[in-house]
Amino acid sequence: MAIKHDWTKEEILDIYNKPFMELLYEAATIHRQHHDPNTVQVSTLLSIKTGGCPEDCGYCPQAARYHTDLEGNDLMSVNQVKAQALRAKASGSSRVCMGAAWRNVKDGEEFDNVLEMVRTINKLDMEVCCTLGMLTENQAQRLAEAGLYAYNHNLDSSEEYYKEVISTRGYQDRLDTIGNVRKTNVTVCSGGIIGMGESEADRAGMLVALSTLNPQPESVPINALVPVEGTPLEEQNPVPIWDMIRMVATTRIVMPETQVRLSAGRTQMSREGQAMCFFAGANSIFAGDKLLTTPNPDVNEDMEMFKMLGLNPQKAFVKKAQPESVDAENSKYQAQGEKPRWSRPEHKIERNLGAQKKAKTKA
Protein backbone atom coordinates (compact mmCIF):
# COMPACT_ATOMS: atom_id res chain seq x y z
CA MET A 1 0.00 0.00 0.00
CA ALA A 2 1.22 3.46 -0.89
CA ILE A 3 2.00 5.74 2.05
CA LYS A 4 -0.49 8.60 2.34
CA HIS A 5 1.13 12.03 2.70
CA ASP A 6 -1.91 14.29 2.47
CA TRP A 7 -3.68 13.61 5.76
CA THR A 8 -5.94 16.39 6.99
CA LYS A 9 -6.63 17.31 10.60
CA GLU A 10 -10.26 16.28 10.18
CA GLU A 11 -9.31 12.82 8.87
CA ILE A 12 -6.91 12.23 11.73
CA LEU A 13 -9.44 13.42 14.33
CA ASP A 14 -11.97 10.98 12.89
CA ILE A 15 -9.44 8.17 13.43
CA TYR A 16 -8.50 9.35 16.93
CA ASN A 17 -12.15 9.46 18.02
CA LYS A 18 -13.23 6.10 16.62
CA PRO A 19 -14.89 3.69 19.03
CA PHE A 20 -12.00 2.37 21.08
CA MET A 21 -12.19 -1.29 20.02
CA GLU A 22 -12.46 -0.36 16.32
CA LEU A 23 -9.46 1.95 16.63
CA LEU A 24 -7.42 -0.71 18.40
CA TYR A 25 -8.31 -3.38 15.84
CA GLU A 26 -7.45 -1.18 12.85
CA ALA A 27 -4.15 -0.07 14.36
CA ALA A 28 -3.15 -3.61 15.33
CA THR A 29 -4.00 -4.89 11.84
CA ILE A 30 -1.87 -2.22 10.16
CA HIS A 31 0.91 -2.82 12.67
CA ARG A 32 1.07 -6.51 11.72
CA GLN A 33 1.18 -5.69 8.02
CA HIS A 34 4.37 -3.67 8.46
CA HIS A 35 6.05 -4.86 11.65
CA ASP A 36 6.69 -7.92 13.80
CA PRO A 37 4.14 -7.45 16.64
CA ASN A 38 6.34 -9.40 19.06
CA THR A 39 9.47 -7.32 18.52
CA VAL A 40 10.11 -4.05 20.37
CA GLN A 41 13.30 -2.02 20.18
CA VAL A 42 14.99 -1.14 23.46
CA SER A 43 16.89 2.15 23.38
CA THR A 44 18.89 3.97 26.03
CA LEU A 45 18.68 7.75 26.34
CA LEU A 46 21.80 9.36 27.76
CA SER A 47 22.10 13.01 28.81
CA ILE A 48 25.64 13.88 27.75
CA LYS A 49 25.27 17.53 28.77
CA THR A 50 22.61 18.45 31.33
CA GLY A 51 21.00 21.78 32.26
CA GLY A 52 21.73 25.40 31.48
CA CYS A 53 19.68 25.54 28.29
CA PRO A 54 18.72 29.08 27.15
CA GLU A 55 15.35 27.97 25.76
CA ASP A 56 12.00 28.41 27.55
CA CYS A 57 10.26 25.11 26.73
CA GLY A 58 7.51 25.01 29.35
CA TYR A 59 7.89 21.28 30.03
CA CYS A 60 11.66 21.13 30.40
CA PRO A 61 13.57 21.21 33.72
CA GLN A 62 16.81 21.84 31.83
CA ALA A 63 15.87 25.42 30.98
CA ALA A 64 18.22 27.72 32.89
CA ARG A 65 15.41 30.19 33.64
CA TYR A 66 13.41 27.68 35.73
CA HIS A 67 14.18 26.75 39.32
CA THR A 68 13.92 22.96 39.33
CA ASP A 69 16.90 21.98 41.52
CA LEU A 70 18.29 20.08 38.56
CA GLU A 71 21.94 19.19 38.92
CA GLY A 72 23.61 20.13 35.65
CA ASN A 73 26.83 18.81 34.21
CA ASP A 74 29.28 19.72 31.49
CA LEU A 75 29.72 17.57 28.40
CA MET A 76 30.65 14.00 29.27
CA SER A 77 33.91 12.52 28.02
CA VAL A 78 34.06 10.01 25.18
CA ASN A 79 35.20 7.30 27.60
CA GLN A 80 32.26 7.98 29.94
CA VAL A 81 29.83 7.71 27.04
CA LYS A 82 31.44 4.49 25.82
CA ALA A 83 31.13 2.94 29.28
CA GLN A 84 27.43 3.87 29.43
CA ALA A 85 26.87 2.48 25.92
CA LEU A 86 28.48 -0.83 26.86
CA ARG A 87 26.22 -1.08 29.91
CA ALA A 88 23.21 -0.33 27.75
CA LYS A 89 24.16 -2.99 25.21
CA ALA A 90 24.68 -5.56 27.97
CA SER A 91 21.16 -4.75 29.24
CA GLY A 92 19.57 -5.38 25.84
CA SER A 93 19.59 -1.95 24.18
CA SER A 94 20.35 -1.81 20.48
CA ARG A 95 20.29 1.97 20.25
CA VAL A 96 21.91 4.79 22.23
CA CYS A 97 20.37 8.26 22.03
CA MET A 98 22.58 11.11 23.24
CA GLY A 99 20.97 14.36 24.32
CA ALA A 100 22.66 17.68 25.02
CA ALA A 101 20.86 20.70 26.51
CA TRP A 102 21.78 23.06 23.68
CA ARG A 103 19.58 25.41 21.68
CA ASN A 104 21.69 24.71 18.63
CA VAL A 105 24.93 22.97 17.78
CA LYS A 106 28.02 25.18 17.70
CA ASP A 107 31.11 24.17 15.78
CA GLY A 108 34.17 23.68 17.96
CA GLU A 109 35.70 21.32 20.47
CA GLU A 110 32.42 20.16 22.06
CA PHE A 111 30.89 19.24 18.70
CA ASP A 112 34.10 17.47 17.72
CA ASN A 113 33.81 15.44 20.93
CA VAL A 114 30.21 14.52 20.08
CA LEU A 115 31.35 13.34 16.65
CA GLU A 116 33.91 11.12 18.34
CA MET A 117 31.20 9.75 20.64
CA VAL A 118 29.15 8.85 17.56
CA ARG A 119 32.11 7.06 15.97
CA THR A 120 32.84 5.21 19.22
CA ILE A 121 29.30 3.91 19.75
CA ASN A 122 28.98 3.04 16.08
CA LYS A 123 31.95 0.69 16.47
CA LEU A 124 29.99 -1.16 19.16
CA ASP A 125 27.50 -2.20 16.45
CA MET A 126 24.74 -0.12 18.00
CA GLU A 127 22.47 2.45 16.39
CA VAL A 128 23.42 5.98 17.42
CA CYS A 129 20.87 8.78 17.73
CA CYS A 130 21.51 12.37 18.81
CA THR A 131 19.29 15.20 19.95
CA LEU A 132 21.42 18.34 20.15
CA GLY A 133 19.11 21.16 19.12
CA MET A 134 19.09 22.95 15.78
CA LEU A 135 21.53 21.81 13.09
CA THR A 136 22.93 23.39 9.96
CA GLU A 137 23.19 21.34 6.79
CA ASN A 138 26.96 21.11 7.22
CA GLN A 139 26.67 19.90 10.82
CA ALA A 140 24.12 17.28 9.79
CA GLN A 141 26.52 16.06 7.10
CA ARG A 142 29.39 15.81 9.59
CA LEU A 143 27.23 13.73 11.92
CA ALA A 144 26.31 11.48 9.00
CA GLU A 145 29.96 11.01 8.09
CA ALA A 146 30.68 10.05 11.71
CA GLY A 147 28.12 7.24 11.42
CA LEU A 148 25.01 8.74 13.04
CA TYR A 149 21.98 6.53 12.46
CA ALA A 150 19.20 8.91 13.55
CA TYR A 151 18.66 12.51 14.60
CA ASN A 152 15.86 13.41 17.01
CA HIS A 153 14.17 16.78 16.75
CA ASN A 154 10.61 16.78 18.10
CA LEU A 155 7.87 19.08 16.87
CA ASP A 156 6.31 18.79 20.37
CA SER A 157 2.76 19.78 19.39
CA SER A 158 0.73 21.38 16.61
CA GLU A 159 2.05 24.58 15.10
CA GLU A 160 -0.85 26.47 16.68
CA TYR A 161 -0.33 25.22 20.24
CA TYR A 162 3.46 25.20 20.02
CA LYS A 163 3.52 28.96 20.66
CA GLU A 164 1.77 28.39 24.02
CA VAL A 165 4.68 26.24 25.21
CA ILE A 166 7.81 27.68 23.58
CA SER A 167 8.76 31.18 22.43
CA THR A 168 12.54 30.95 21.97
CA ARG A 169 12.44 28.71 18.89
CA GLY A 170 9.89 28.74 16.08
CA TYR A 171 8.06 25.79 14.56
CA GLN A 172 9.72 26.44 11.22
CA ASP A 173 13.13 26.28 12.93
CA ARG A 174 12.33 22.70 13.88
CA LEU A 175 11.15 21.82 10.38
CA ASP A 176 14.30 23.40 8.93
CA THR A 177 16.51 21.17 11.09
CA ILE A 178 14.55 18.10 9.99
CA GLY A 179 15.05 19.28 6.41
CA ASN A 180 18.81 19.57 6.94
CA VAL A 181 18.92 16.03 8.33
CA ARG A 182 16.95 14.77 5.32
CA LYS A 183 19.74 16.00 3.03
CA THR A 184 21.95 13.27 4.52
CA ASN A 185 21.55 9.51 4.96
CA VAL A 186 20.62 9.97 8.64
CA THR A 187 17.12 8.84 9.58
CA VAL A 188 14.66 11.25 11.21
CA CYS A 189 13.19 10.80 14.69
CA SER A 190 10.48 13.38 15.46
CA GLY A 191 7.38 13.27 17.62
CA GLY A 192 5.84 15.17 20.47
CA ILE A 193 4.32 15.38 23.93
CA ILE A 194 0.71 15.06 24.98
CA GLY A 195 -0.71 16.33 28.25
CA MET A 196 0.56 19.91 28.01
CA GLY A 197 -2.94 21.37 27.93
CA GLU A 198 -3.40 20.92 24.20
CA SER A 199 -6.68 19.90 22.55
CA GLU A 200 -7.36 16.74 20.58
CA ALA A 201 -7.24 18.94 17.48
CA ASP A 202 -3.69 19.96 18.44
CA ARG A 203 -2.69 16.31 18.75
CA ALA A 204 -4.10 15.71 15.30
CA GLY A 205 -2.32 18.82 14.03
CA MET A 206 1.02 17.48 15.19
CA LEU A 207 0.39 14.22 13.34
CA VAL A 208 -0.55 16.19 10.22
CA ALA A 209 2.78 18.01 10.36
CA LEU A 210 4.70 14.72 10.76
CA SER A 211 2.72 12.55 8.33
CA THR A 212 2.82 15.07 5.49
CA LEU A 213 6.61 15.04 5.51
CA ASN A 214 7.90 13.00 2.58
CA PRO A 215 9.35 10.62 3.52
CA GLN A 216 7.64 10.34 6.87
CA PRO A 217 9.94 10.15 9.93
CA GLU A 218 11.43 6.71 10.49
CA SER A 219 10.74 7.18 14.23
CA VAL A 220 7.97 9.05 16.05
CA PRO A 221 8.28 9.26 19.87
CA ILE A 222 4.99 9.73 21.71
CA ASN A 223 5.67 11.23 25.14
CA ALA A 224 3.30 11.76 28.05
CA LEU A 225 4.17 14.93 29.92
CA VAL A 226 6.02 14.34 33.17
CA PRO A 227 5.26 17.52 35.16
CA VAL A 228 8.35 18.84 36.92
CA GLU A 229 8.12 21.22 39.86
CA GLY A 230 9.48 24.62 38.94
CA THR A 231 8.41 24.50 35.28
CA PRO A 232 5.35 26.34 33.89
CA LEU A 233 3.58 23.00 33.32
CA GLU A 234 4.18 21.64 36.82
CA GLU A 235 0.47 21.50 37.69
CA GLN A 236 -0.76 19.63 34.62
CA ASN A 237 -2.72 16.49 35.37
CA PRO A 238 -1.29 13.13 34.27
CA VAL A 239 -2.32 11.95 30.82
CA PRO A 240 -4.98 9.21 30.99
CA ILE A 241 -3.67 5.91 29.65
CA TRP A 242 -6.59 5.83 27.19
CA ASP A 243 -5.29 9.02 25.58
CA MET A 244 -1.84 7.45 25.19
CA ILE A 245 -3.29 4.33 23.59
CA ARG A 246 -5.43 6.41 21.23
CA MET A 247 -2.42 8.53 20.28
CA VAL A 248 -0.22 5.50 19.63
CA ALA A 249 -2.95 3.79 17.60
CA THR A 250 -3.64 6.90 15.52
CA THR A 251 0.05 7.42 14.85
CA ARG A 252 0.35 3.79 13.73
CA ILE A 253 -2.54 4.14 11.27
CA VAL A 254 -1.34 7.45 9.85
CA MET A 255 2.33 6.41 9.63
CA PRO A 256 2.28 2.64 9.11
CA GLU A 257 6.00 2.10 8.45
CA THR A 258 7.26 4.32 11.25
CA GLN A 259 8.70 3.06 14.53
CA VAL A 260 6.30 4.44 17.13
CA ARG A 261 8.31 5.00 20.29
CA LEU A 262 6.53 4.78 23.64
CA SER A 263 8.67 7.34 25.43
CA ALA A 264 8.36 9.55 28.53
CA GLY A 265 5.69 8.89 31.13
CA ARG A 266 5.88 5.10 31.35
CA THR A 267 6.37 5.22 35.13
CA GLN A 268 2.75 6.37 35.34
CA MET A 269 1.51 3.47 33.18
CA SER A 270 0.59 -0.01 34.34
CA ARG A 271 1.97 -3.02 32.50
CA GLU A 272 -1.53 -3.60 31.18
CA GLY A 273 -1.59 -0.07 29.76
CA GLN A 274 1.79 -0.50 28.15
CA ALA A 275 0.72 -3.85 26.70
CA MET A 276 -2.23 -2.14 25.01
CA CYS A 277 0.14 0.47 23.59
CA PHE A 278 2.27 -2.32 22.10
CA PHE A 279 -0.87 -3.97 20.71
CA ALA A 280 -1.89 -0.63 19.18
CA GLY A 281 1.43 -0.26 17.37
CA ALA A 282 4.17 0.98 19.69
CA ASN A 283 7.36 -0.92 18.89
CA SER A 284 10.07 0.87 20.86
CA ILE A 285 10.75 1.88 24.45
CA PHE A 286 13.52 3.71 26.27
CA ALA A 287 15.21 1.74 29.03
CA GLY A 288 17.12 2.98 32.05
CA ASP A 289 16.15 4.76 35.25
CA LYS A 290 16.07 8.20 33.59
CA LEU A 291 14.98 9.77 30.31
CA LEU A 292 17.45 12.66 30.26
CA THR A 293 16.17 14.05 33.59
CA THR A 294 12.76 12.46 34.23
CA PRO A 295 12.05 9.06 35.88
CA ASN A 296 11.79 5.88 33.82
CA PRO A 297 11.15 2.21 34.69
CA ASP A 298 14.13 0.09 35.70
CA VAL A 299 15.52 -2.03 32.85
CA ASN A 300 14.98 -5.23 34.85
CA GLU A 301 11.29 -4.36 35.22
CA ASP A 302 11.10 -3.88 31.46
CA MET A 303 12.73 -7.23 30.77
CA GLU A 304 10.24 -8.90 33.13
CA MET A 305 7.43 -7.22 31.20
CA PHE A 306 8.91 -8.39 27.89
CA LYS A 307 9.05 -11.96 29.20
CA MET A 308 5.48 -11.76 30.45
CA LEU A 309 4.23 -10.46 27.08
CA GLY A 310 6.44 -12.67 24.92
CA LEU A 311 8.24 -9.68 23.41
CA ASN A 312 11.73 -9.84 21.91
CA PRO A 313 14.20 -6.92 21.83
CA GLN A 314 14.81 -5.70 18.29
CA LYS A 315 18.34 -6.01 16.95
CA ALA A 316 20.29 -2.98 15.77
CA PHE A 317 19.94 -1.72 12.20
CA VAL A 318 16.56 -3.28 11.60
CA LYS A 319 14.31 -0.46 10.51
CA LYS A 320 11.18 -2.61 10.70
CA ALA A 321 10.04 -6.21 10.45
CA GLN A 322 10.96 -7.44 6.99
CA PRO A 323 9.83 -10.21 4.63
CA GLU A 324 11.70 -13.51 4.66
CA SER A 325 13.49 -12.66 1.40
CA VAL A 326 15.20 -9.70 3.04
CA ASP A 327 16.08 -11.72 6.14
CA ALA A 328 17.73 -14.29 3.85
CA GLU A 329 19.68 -11.57 2.07
CA ASN A 330 20.86 -10.12 5.38
CA SER A 331 21.96 -13.59 6.52
CA LYS A 332 24.05 -13.85 3.36
CA TYR A 333 25.84 -10.59 4.17
CA GLN A 334 26.42 -11.64 7.78
CA ALA A 335 27.85 -14.99 6.67
CA GLN A 336 30.38 -13.00 4.66
CA GLY A 337 31.32 -11.00 7.78
CA GLU A 338 29.50 -7.87 6.60
CA LYS A 339 26.77 -5.80 8.19
CA PRO A 340 23.20 -6.39 6.94
CA ARG A 341 22.25 -4.26 3.95
CA TRP A 342 19.79 -2.23 6.07
CA SER A 343 22.64 -0.97 8.25
CA ARG A 344 24.44 0.55 5.29
CA PRO A 345 24.01 4.27 4.68
CA GLU A 346 22.72 3.87 1.12
CA HIS A 347 19.86 1.67 2.35
CA LYS A 348 18.82 3.37 5.58
CA ILE A 349 15.89 5.23 4.03
CA GLU A 350 15.19 2.79 1.19
CA ARG A 351 11.88 0.99 1.34
CA ASN A 352 11.93 -2.71 0.59
CA LEU A 353 9.27 -2.58 -2.09
CA GLY A 354 11.12 -4.95 -4.43
CA ALA A 355 11.40 -7.70 -1.83
CA GLN A 356 7.75 -7.33 -0.92
CA LYS A 357 6.73 -7.74 -4.57
CA LYS A 358 8.85 -10.90 -4.88
CA ALA A 359 7.28 -12.33 -1.73
CA LYS A 360 3.78 -11.68 -3.10
CA THR A 361 4.68 -13.25 -6.46
CA LYS A 362 5.91 -16.45 -4.76
CA ALA A 363 2.76 -16.58 -2.68
Task: Please say if 53 is a catalytic residue.
Answer: yes
Question: Per the annotation, does 277 bind a ligand?
Answer: no
Active-site residue, selected from the candidate residues 95, 97, 142, 246 = 97
- For residue 261, say whether it is annotated as part of any ligand binding site: yes
From the candidates 60, 130, 182, 203, give the one annotated as an active-site residue. 60
Catalytic site includes residue 189: yes
Residue 97 known to be catalytic: yes
Q: Is 189 annotated as belonging to a binding site?
A: yes
The answer to whether 277 is a known catalytic residue is: no
Query: Active-site residue among 142, 189, 266, 277?
Result: 189
169, 174, 261, 266: which one is catalytic? 261
**Is 53 annotated for ligand binding?**
yes
Catalytic annotation, pick one of 53, 130, 246, 266? 53
130 is in an annotated binding site: no
Contact predicate 283/259, CB 8 Å: yes
Our answer to whether residue 130 is catalytic in this structure is no
User: Which residues are part of a known binding site?
Assistant: 53, 57, 60, 97, 129, 189, 261
User: Which residues are part of a known binding site for [4Fe-4S] cluster?
Assistant: 53, 57, 60
Enzyme catalytic residues: 53, 57, 60, 97, 129, 189, 261
User: Which residues are part of a known binding site for [2Fe-2S] cluster?
Assistant: 97, 129, 189, 261
